[in-house]
Amino acid sequence: MPPETHAGPRAPQEKRYLQLAGLFRNKIVTGQWAVGSSIPTVEQLEALHSASRTTVRMALGNLVSEGLLRTRKRGGTQVMAAPLRPPSFLLPSTWKDLVVFHSNTGYRLLASEADCRPVIPAGLSSVQGELAPAYQRLLGLHCCGDQPFCLSQMYIEQSLYDRIAPQLPQLTVVEALTRGPRPLTAARQRLSVAPADELIQTHLGVPLGTPLLQTLRWAEDRKGQIVHWAQLRFLSEYAHIEMDLLG
């Protein structure tokens, strides 16, 4: 098989082996590679994934070091164990569910900055409200125990934030908004898949370009002003969506 080509000396190959390691790990999690069974040979994996032998061996080596695979002396690789599956949170579909979700997960504030404005993606036609002149930006991590699984950027209209800030040591932002002095008359969210950027790489430790679940959320007051805007990006193994298709 011809060697993989790349622009840089090693980065593309390293990124590729991490992608393959994640793919192979998921095959074990989902039972496609059952515990006790033998997996395809290195040669078969090379052909299946159009990858070099070195890249495949590096990916398998990752799983061997994790105790998930074992290379046998007479050839072949056996699945030894399944990785521990993290708890998967049902993504909220109502504001009430949102309050419960934020109350049941940990939160670690990374940065707080006044007099900011969110950037609303082009083409998001369902956003009807008007932006305020200034917002407080809160960058933080949502955690399960000590493990961060979601990076959030939340923006709260500046004068509203100044009024609810004293409550935030005891309440989540969503709870404070619910109880706040400016009742919400509209709230929406949009789910999509977004690639990991440098901010995600730094705080969630995943490679650039890794697909993440993204939630864009906004809420308006009775005057039609957007008082809350949020972008949340979840590690996909920690989040799931359920819908009643006949409801």
Q: Are residues 36 and 60 in the same domain?
A: yes
Q: What is the CATH number of the domain that holds 177?
A: 3.40.1410.10
Q: How far apart are CA 194 and CA 57, in angstroms?
A: 29
Average pLDDT score, the chain? 88
**Total count of domains within the chain:** 2
Q: pLDDT band for position 14 (50/70/90)?
A: low
The highest-confidence range among 8-12, 131-135, 207-211, by mean pLDDT, is 131-135
Q: How far apart are CA 30 and CA 45, in angstroms?
A: 18
Range 107-128 average pLDDT: 89
Q: Which among 10, 14, 5 is positioned nearest to 50, based on CA atoms?
A: 5
Tokens for 233, please give them. 């990006």
Tell me the pTM. Answer: 0.73
The boundaries of the domain holding residue 222 are: 89-240
Q: Are residues 103 and 74 in the same domain?
A: no
Q: What percent of the chain has pLDDT over 70?
A: 94
Last residue of a domain, one of 53, 79, 105: 79
Q: What percent of the chain has pLDDT over 90?
A: 62
Q: Are residues 191 and 223 in the same domain?
A: yes
pLDDT at 128: 81
> Does residue 163 lie within any of the structural domains?
yes
> Does residue 4 lie within any of the structural domains?
no
Last residue of a domain, one of 49, 79, 109: 79
Residue 85 and residue 39 in contact, taking contact as beta carbons nearer than 8 Å: no
In this model, does residue 185 exceed pLDDT 90? yes
Last residue of a domain, one of 47, 79, 111: 79
Q: Are residues 72 and 168 in the same domain?
A: no
Is 168 exposed, middle or buried (CB count within 10 Å of its CB: 0-12, 13-18, 19+)? middle
Phi then psi for residue 6, to 5 deg, are -160, 160
In this model, does residue 83 exceed pLDDT 60? yes
Angle at 220 between CA 217 and CA 226, to 5 degrees: 75
In this model, does residue 72 exceed pLDDT 50? yes
Q: Are residues 30 and 151 in the same domain?
A: no
